[in-house]
Amino acid sequence: MVVFGTVISSPRGTLSLSQTLRLSKFYLENAHREPEVKVALVFCYDTEITLSSLKKTARNTLKQTAREEIADVYADLGNLMESHGYRREARAFHKKVEVWR
């Protein structure tokens, strides 16, 4: 059996800011809709990994509106994690909100 990641490498690093945000929101929307917590957590993980690609972007070079959008996704991610009982992880995401705002 071939593992997906070994066949195709992730192109996340080549996405534009708007594409990264769109993909993050896509994952997060699916996490909200997913009734099984384990599957929802996979979507949350994908959201976090996608957003983490923005670390390379200097925060101070982004417009405030972009920073707010990123912060909003982290806030929503934190709220979702808290609703599933992952309080420590939720706090970590809420700290990221403060960093991006």
**Higher per-residue confidence, 34 vs 5:** 34
* Measured distance CA(44)–CA(36) in Å, rounded: 12
In 3D space, the residue among 90, 4, 19, 6 whose CA is nearest the CA of residue 54 turns out to be: 19
5 within a domain of the structure (yes/no): no
Over 60: is that where the pLDDT of 100 sits? yes
**SS3 category, 35:** coil
Q: What residue type is 77 in one-letter code? A: L
pLDDT at 41: 94
9 within a domain of the structure (yes/no): no
* Measured distance CA(7)–CA(32) in Å, rounded: 29
* Helix 37-52 with 17-33: angle, nearest 10 deg: 170
Joined tokens for residue 20: 């990264």
Residues spanned by the domain of 31 = 16-100
**Higher per-residue confidence, 61 vs 12:** 61
DSSP secondary structure letter of residue 3: -
13-40 pLDDT per residue, tens: 678 888 999 999 999 999 999 999 999 9
* Measured distance CA(7)–CA(72) in Å, rounded: 33
Q: What residue type is 84 in one-letter code? A: H
40-71 pLDDT per residue, tens: 999 999 999 998 888 766 666 788 888 899 99
84 within a domain of the structure (yes/no): yes
27 within a domain of the structure (yes/no): yes
pLDDT at 4: 47
The total number of structural domains in the chain stands at 1
86 within a domain of the structure (yes/no): yes
